[in-house]
């Protein structure tokens, strides 16, 4: 049962079923929600959802890397990366999934 990928479409179907709203409406709301997160992160803002987690952008500094094919040293420019820190409630729920994931790994 665990270790399954849930798509945005399936999520929207579930929300539509639970709320009684049309699936078209729930899809639009979910997409608007995701777009707002993306827009705020692009502005360098932090998005905090209590008990769920925090989305943040950080600057990854420039660094030297090695091309594994040619063994040549190359410069990698700095870039912004999105980070997510899990909230307490989500972490607790994830820990309860350990038994499900452990059983899946055994098979």
Return the higher-pLDDT residue of 45 and 3. Answer: 45
> 95 pLDDT exceeds 80?
yes
The answer, as to whether pTM is greater than 0.85, is: no
Is residue 1 pLDDT above 60, yes or no? no
pLDDT surpasses 90 at 61: yes
Span 29-59, pLDDT tens digits: 999 999 999 999 999 999 999 999 999 999 9
The CA–CA distances, whole Å, from 83 to 45, 57, 78 equal: 12, 6, 15
CA angle 11, 13, 17 (to 5 degrees): 120
3-state secondary structure the chain: CCCCCCCHHHHHHHHHHHHCCCHHHHHHHHHHHHHHHHHHHHCCCCEEECCCEEEEEEEECCEEEECCCCCCEEEECCEEEEEEEECHHHHHHHHHCHHHHHHHHHC
Mean residue pLDDT across the chain: 91
Q: Where do the domains of the chain lie, and which CATH numbers do they carry?
A: 1-45 (no CATH), 46-107 (4.10.520.10)
Distances (CA, A) of 78 to 39, 58, 63, 81, 107: 20, 10, 7, 10, 42
């Amino acid at each position: 049962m665990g270790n399954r990928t849930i798509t945005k479409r399936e999520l929207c179907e579930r929300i539509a079923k639970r709320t009684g709203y049309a699936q078209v409406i729930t899809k639009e709301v979910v997409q608007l929600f995701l777009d707002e997160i993306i827009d705020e992160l692009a502005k360098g803002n932090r998005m905090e959802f209590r008990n769920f987690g925090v989305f943040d952008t950080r600057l990854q500094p420039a660094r030297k890397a090695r091309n594994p094919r040619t063994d040549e040293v190359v410069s990698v420019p700095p870039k912004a990366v999105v980070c997510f820190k899990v909230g307490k409630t989500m972490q607790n729920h994830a820990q309860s999934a350990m038994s499900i994931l452990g059983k899946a790994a055994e098979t």
